């Protein structure tokens, strides 16, 4: 059974860089069928896709966040990571990592497995 586990600091100050890691277990991050994503949810609000990466390093970013976001993958550790720079209070959210099925071809273009989420608070 696939499991995803987020880890990283829970409290940041404004202007700092958010860094989170997602550890994948129960399946290989190098599987050709899957992509790996970050999604966030501000307290009491809806979901927002942030970025997606393929094990080869191909990346996709939400246009409105692209200037501040970097997603990377470490296949040797079965991990992928998120960096979000210059954070503000608006970046306070639960951050989820998720497995994404490809869009196009035989892919279903959906997020089928999610981690439990980690709350990141930005406050001075």
Partner 1 sequence: QSALTQPPSASGSPGQSVTISCTGTSSDVGGYNYVSWYQQHPGKAPKLMIYEVAKRPSGVPDRFSGSKSGSTASLTVSGLQAEDEADYYCSSLAGNDYVFGAGTKVTVL
Q: Tell me: does residue 27 bind partner 1 (CB under 8 A).
A: no
Structure tokens at 79: 């991990």
Query: 67 phi and psi, to 5 degrees?
Result: -70, -20
Q: Identify the residue among 2, 11, 89, 103 touching partner 1 (CB under 8 A).
A: 103
Structure tokens at 124: 């001075």
Contact present, 93 and 113 (Cβ < 8 Å): no
Measured from the CB atom, the residue of 57 and 107 that comes closer to partner 1 is: 107
Q: Identify the residue among 16, 60, 78, 121 touching partner 1 (CB under 8 A).
A: 60
Q: Tell me: does residue 117 bind partner 1 (CB under 8 A).
A: yes
Q: Tell me: does residue 105 bind partner 1 (CB under 8 A).
A: no
Q: Tell me: does residue 47 bind partner 1 (CB under 8 A).
A: yes
Query: How far apart (Å, rounded) are the C-alpha atoms in residues 67 and 4?
Result: 26
Structure tokens at 87: 């954070």
Q: Tell me: does residue 109 bind partner 1 (CB under 8 A).
A: yes
């Amino acid at each position: 059974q696939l499991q995803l586990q987020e880890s990283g600091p829970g409290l940041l100050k404004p202007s700092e860089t958010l860094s989170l890691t997602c550890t994948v277990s129960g399946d290989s991050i190098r599987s050709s069928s899957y992509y790996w994503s970050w999604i966030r949810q501000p307290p009491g609000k809806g979901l927002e896709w942030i970025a997606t990466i393929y094990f080869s390093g191909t990346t996709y970013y939400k246009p409105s966040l692209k200037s501040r976001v970097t997603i990377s993958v470490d296949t040797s550790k079965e991990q992928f990571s998120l960096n979000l720079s210059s954070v503000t209070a608006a970046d306070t959210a639960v951050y989820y990592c998720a497995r994404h099925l490809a869009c196009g071809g035989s892919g279903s273009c959906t997020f089928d497995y999610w981690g439990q989420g980690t709350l990141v608070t930005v406050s001075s």
